[in-house]
Amino acid sequence: MVEVATKPKLSDVINRYFSHLKEIQIQPDRGHPDVEVDCAARVHICKTVCCRFKLALTREEVERGLKFDIDNPYIMRKGSDGYCYETKDGGCGIYESRPVACRTYSCAKDKRVWEDFDRMIPGKRVREMSFQV
């Protein structure tokens, strides 16, 4: 017997779409690129937590081959360590062609990363992570 696929209900599709949007943690318009961030002086504390956030790829980025999570289109794929798939040697392996979300993001006003940016006091996401990695 051939199984006939049932059409998903529109309400289910809409609910899935909105819960998907809520999960995205870095979007191109959510950064604060006006504030210069001295990453090199901070990575020993932040552990590059920004490369663990979910980030949304643009259509152009998907089309040029950036890998996304098959179960979460079009969220940048992560490795088994929870870091972005393109992380390499503790840095970005595709720095020159990294997604626009990475280019425009700044952690300077992101309380998940820095409870106090100037005094380099880590935020909740970083503190939680120190037990994971």
CB of 131 to ligand SF4, least distance (A): 17
- Please state the closest distance from residue 17 (CB atom) to ligand SF4, in A: 23
Residue 83's contacts (CB-CB under 8 Å, 6 or more residues apart) are 48, 51, 52
Q: Report the nearest approach of ligand SF4 to the CB of residue 104 (Å).
A: 11
Pick 8 or 65: Cβ nearer ligand SF4: 65
Give the binding site for ligand SF4 (CB under 6 A): 37, 39, 42-43, 46, 48-51, 55, 84, 86-87, 92, 94, 98-99, 102, 107, 113
Nearer Cβ to ligand SF4, position 20 or 54?
A: 54
Task: Copy the structure tokens of residue 131.
Answer: 């037990």
49 Cβ neighbours under 8 A, 6+ residues apart: 107, 112, 113, 125, 126, 129
C-alpha–C-alpha distance, residues 29 and 100, integer Å: 10
